[in-house]
Amino acid sequence: MKGEPLFVRFKTTLLVFMAVLLSGCATTGDYQDPRDPIEGFNRSVYSFNEGLDNMLMKPLARGYKAITPAPVDTGISNFFSNLADVGSAINNLLQFKLERAVSDVGRVLVNSTIGLLGFIDVASNMNMQKYGEDFGQTLGAWGMDPGPYIVLPFFGPSSGRDTVGLVVDWYTDPVAYVDSTRWRNSLIGLRAIDTRADLLSASRVLEEAALDPYEFQRDAYLQKRRNDVYDGAPPPEPLDEPYD
């Protein structure tokens, strides 16, 4: 049935989100980070994701990197990056950032035509900036608080706000509208492996540098998302309040 994988995927995400809200009392240690009120739950999911990554995603990513010529790998990453610009344009429009929305649309048009469906990033060579907006950022721009830090199964770091955004982002993803279930799932799988392959060096640095990889990933994610919402210029944050 067309759309069934989409329904199952996001029903699971929403159920996880509800479980997170109902599990808000779970904590670990003496210090409770106000941004992470369900740290015990999150650490359990983090461990599950790490196990899945070590057993499945990392070996697949390494194999993909080993057999895929660098120009092809770059082209595939460019292709999915071009698709992501569609959602970015919509979210810039929703945030009333009209110049950025026009730039995003321009990138899609240029890369989809001159760039051969996005496999060549012509737009960046023409100094057309990439913004990468998503609906979680849009909700933040509209004034919605981030809510609790959440680690989602399979998806990884998130927040209450970004979990809602994740659902909406699927409906602005061109891949969601591929008619063939087989092709749609193949594209989703290829994108996941390509993304993981691009992060192999970053995960190695994390493993070697961080005393507590969970805390390092949490702090880096929350800081990045705060910067994303404020376009790289966040206001000073009170020490006794969660990140926006």
Fill in the DSSP letter of residue 133. -
pLDDT at 208: 73
pLDDT at 9: 52
* Integer Cα distance of 98 and 80 in angstroms: 23
Residue pair 26/40 in contact by the 8 Å Cβ criterion: yes
% of residues, the chain, pLDDT over 70: 84
pLDDT at 204: 73
% of residues, the chain, pLDDT over 90: 76
Short-list 133, 168, 146, 140, CA closest to 14 = 168
pLDDT at 205: 72
Short-list 81, 86, 94, 174, CA closest to 124 = 81
Higher pLDDT, 17 or 76: 76
203 pLDDT band, cuts 50/70/90, is confident
Compute the average pLDDT of residues 196-210: 80
**What's the chain's average pLDDT?**
88
pLDDT at 184: 97
Compute the average pLDDT of residues 122-134: 96
pLDDT at 225: 97
Higher pLDDT, 212 or 79: 79
Residue pair 151/164 in contact by the 8 Å Cβ criterion: no
pLDDT at 30: 61
* Integer Cα distance of 244 and 140 in angstroms: 8
Backbone phi and psi for residue 159, each to the nearest 5 degrees, phi listed first = -150, 175
pLDDT tens by residue, 17-42:
544 444 444 444 567 899 999 999 99
Residue 173 has pLDDT above 50, yes or no: yes
pTM: 0.83
* Integer Cα distance of 80 and 117 in angstroms: 10
Provide the residue count of the chain.
Answer: 244
The partner residues of 154 in beta bridges, in order of sequence, read none
Compute the average pLDDT of residues 150-154: 97
Delimit the domains of the chain by residue range. Answer: 59-146+162-229
pLDDT at 27: 45
pLDDT at 211: 83
pLDDT tens by residue, 52-63:
999 999 999 999
pLDDT at 193: 98
Residue pair 153/48 in contact by the 8 Å Cβ criterion: yes
Supply 146's token pair.
């981030």
pLDDT at 237: 74
Residue 232 has pLDDT above 60, yes or no: yes
| Look-up of token digits 């609906």 | 135
pLDDT at 29: 52
pLDDT at 239: 56
Higher pLDDT, 198 or 20: 198
Instruction: List, as one string, the DSSP characters of 97-122.
Output: -HHHHHHHHHHHHHHHHTTTTTTS-H
